[in-house]
């Protein structure tokens, strides 16, 4: 059994320094791909502040073909962090600690690794969208946004969007996607379209569904609708989109 550890946040000064030197950060990661042993020397000080909250320590799996371990790692991250306060889970400085200390090696294969991702997916800005798309934080939020308490398999949509990124990406791009009564029927529609109708879940298809949800929200209080009502509306849009492709 893993021991308890205190969580940490990266110091804001350290975070800004790394952001402002993203090209150098990329070079150091390429030079030291296994562990961020260069970090203290590069900054000249310990980059982290220890907080009072404790979690069970955990280790993540590594595979050059990250799809082989993606679900297991996401579940490990989610199950170990889900009880933390929301203000911690929404803090990019917390995710910087997770990234460099827990997900460092995995992050290099989880998405395409090039100099541009350091500033866009590693050292993310303070925004909901960046938080949901960050290379480490997305491992948590993919499950957080798709966990379905009332389904027999509570993680069926989570597993689906881990294998199919476009439905999740389009949820991340729109604030309305954070409503559970919108996100769950949207994922259900995408899953049905893919599994029953062999629909290719490209950006056009997924964004059209989300635009339909936004259209609903512009004429009524969508948060007051049931998941079933949102599903019925989006289902009609799905059929319309499928007909357009034939």
What is the predicted pLDDT for the residue at 1?
A: 62
Q: How confident is the model at residue 221 (pLDDT cuts 50, 70, 90)?
A: confident
Least confident range from 32-46, 113-127, 216-230: namely 216-230
Other Cβ atoms within 10 Å of 90 Cβ, number: 14
Those residues whose C-beta lies under 8 Å from the C-beta of residue 74, and which sit 6 or more positions away, are 139, 140, 142, 143, 158, 162
Instruction: Say which residue, 164 or 1, is predicted with more confidence.
Output: 164
- pLDDT tens digits, residue range 129-182? 999 999 999 999 999 999 999 888 999 999 999 999 999 999 998 888 888 999
Cα separation of the two ends of the chain: 54
- CA dihedral of 161, 164, 166, 170, whole degrees rounded to 10: -10
**The pLDDT of residue 220 is above 70:** no
Asked if 32 contacts 38 with a C-beta cutoff of 8 angstroms, the reply is yes
What burial letters (b/e) apply to 150-180, b meaning 16+ CB within 10 Å?
eeeeebebbbbbbebbbbbbbbbebebbebe
SS3 46: coil
SS3 150: coil
List, in sequence order, every beta strand (DSSP E) within 60-197.
Answer: none
């Amino acid at each position: 059994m893993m021991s308890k550890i205190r969580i940490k946040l990266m110091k804001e000064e350290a975070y800004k320094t790394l952001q402002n030197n993203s090209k150098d950060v990329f070079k150091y990661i390429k030079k030291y791909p296994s562990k961020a042993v260069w970090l203290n020397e590069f900054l000249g000080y310990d980059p982290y502040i220890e907080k009072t909250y404790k979690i069970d320590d955990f280790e993540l799996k590594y595979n050059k073909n990250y799809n082989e371990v993606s679900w297991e790692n996401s579940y490990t991250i989610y199950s170990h962090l889900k009880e933390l306060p929301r203000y911690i889970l929404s803090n990019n400085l917390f995710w910087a600690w997770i990234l460099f200390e827990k997900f460092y090696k995995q992050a290099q294969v989880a998405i395409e690794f090039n100099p541009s991702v350091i500033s866009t997916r590693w050292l993310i800005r303070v925004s909901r969208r960046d938080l949901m798309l960050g290379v480490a934080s997305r491992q948590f939020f993919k499950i957080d946004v798709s966990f379905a308490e009332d389904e027999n398999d509570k993680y069926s949509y989570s597993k689906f969007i881990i294998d199919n990124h476009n439905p999740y990406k389009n949820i991340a791009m729109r604030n309305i996607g954070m409503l559970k009564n919108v996100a769950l029927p949207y994922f259900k529609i995408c899953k049905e379209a893919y599994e029953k109708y062999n629909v290719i879940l490209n950006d056009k298809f997924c964004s059209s569904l989300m635009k339909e949800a936004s259209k609903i929200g512009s004429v009524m209080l969508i948060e007051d609708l049931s998941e079933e009502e949102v599903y019925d509306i989006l289902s009609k849009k799905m059929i319309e989109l499928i007909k357009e492709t034939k």
